């Protein structure tokens, strides 16, 4: 077995173990940490397959942003695991059926997608280009319109999230940006004149009597 195969099977085994621990860990923090390990292992596998752009994107986007957010949210919410596990076996048949359907669909798509005889090889001039540059050329030339549609959908999602966060509710503080723009100094600052107050001097304390019992 060569070095490439050894590294591939090592990272694949770590990825399978980490994925198994994600769904079997009792603590949500432990599950999130094992998911981070799974992402790192998948990134290493992609690096072995010379997909550097996907590997770095997985580390930067998921491990560096999404998983850190998940971990902080899980730690701050203090989730009660006992209440979540109630009714697990009651809903297990439905969840298992849905999971089986998803697995069959993914297997069908993947087996048809790996039809290597119908795959066209890259031209000699494109094969020498780094995969990040080749992916950028494909996205912004042949798939420019779908990329723009995805960007608009993400923009709408961001605006909707902000609108839902800033909507008027009884338990939240709402600020009107138009009122903040039209604010003036006189509306926020008022100068008040106060009369000076002079305190009377305090008389010094009387001297203590001599401790030897003599007359003052």
Average pLDDT, the chain: 79
CA 85, CA 172: separation in Å to the nearest integer? Answer: 32
| Domain covering 1-81: architecture | Up-down Bundle (1.20)
What pTM was computed for the model?
0.55
The per-residue pLDDT for range 133-155, each reduced to its tens digit, is 877 888 888 888 988 999 999 99
The per-residue pLDDT for range 166-214, each reduced to its tens digit, is 666 666 666 777 877 888 877 777 788 888 887 777 766 655 555 555 5
Q: What are the domain boundaries of the chain?
A: 1-81, 87-119, 125-165
Residue of 41, 44, 47, 46 lying closest to 20 (CA atoms): 41
CA 28, CA 21: separation in Å to the nearest integer? Answer: 11
């Amino acid at each position: 077995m060569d070095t490439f195969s050894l590294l591939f099977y090592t990272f694949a085994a770590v990825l399978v173990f980490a994925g198994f621990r994600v769904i079997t860990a009792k603590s949500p923090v432990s599950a999130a940490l094992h998911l981070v390990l799974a992402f790192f292992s998948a990134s290493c596998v992609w690096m072995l397959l010379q997909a550097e752009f996907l590997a770095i994107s997985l580390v930067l986007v998921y491990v560096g942003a999404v998983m850190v957010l998940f971990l902080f949210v899980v730690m701050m919410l203090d989730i009660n695991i006992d209440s979540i596990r109630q009714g697990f076996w009651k809903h297990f048949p439905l969840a298992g059926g849905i999971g089986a359907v998803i697995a069959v669909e993914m297997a069908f798509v993947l087996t048809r997608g790996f039809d290597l005889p119908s795959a066209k090889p890259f031209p000699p001039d494109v094969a020498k280009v780094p995969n990040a540059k080749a992916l950028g050329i494909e996205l912004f030339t042949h798939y420019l319109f779908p990329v723009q549609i995805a960007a608009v959908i993400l923009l709408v999602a961001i605006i909707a999230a902000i609108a839902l966060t800033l909507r008027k509710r009884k338990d939240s503080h709402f600020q009107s940006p138009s009122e903040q723009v039209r604010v003036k100094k006189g509306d926020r600052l008022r100068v008040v004149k106060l009369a000076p107050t002079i305190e009377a001097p305090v008389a010094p304390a009387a001297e203590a009597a001599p401790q030897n019992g003599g007359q003052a």
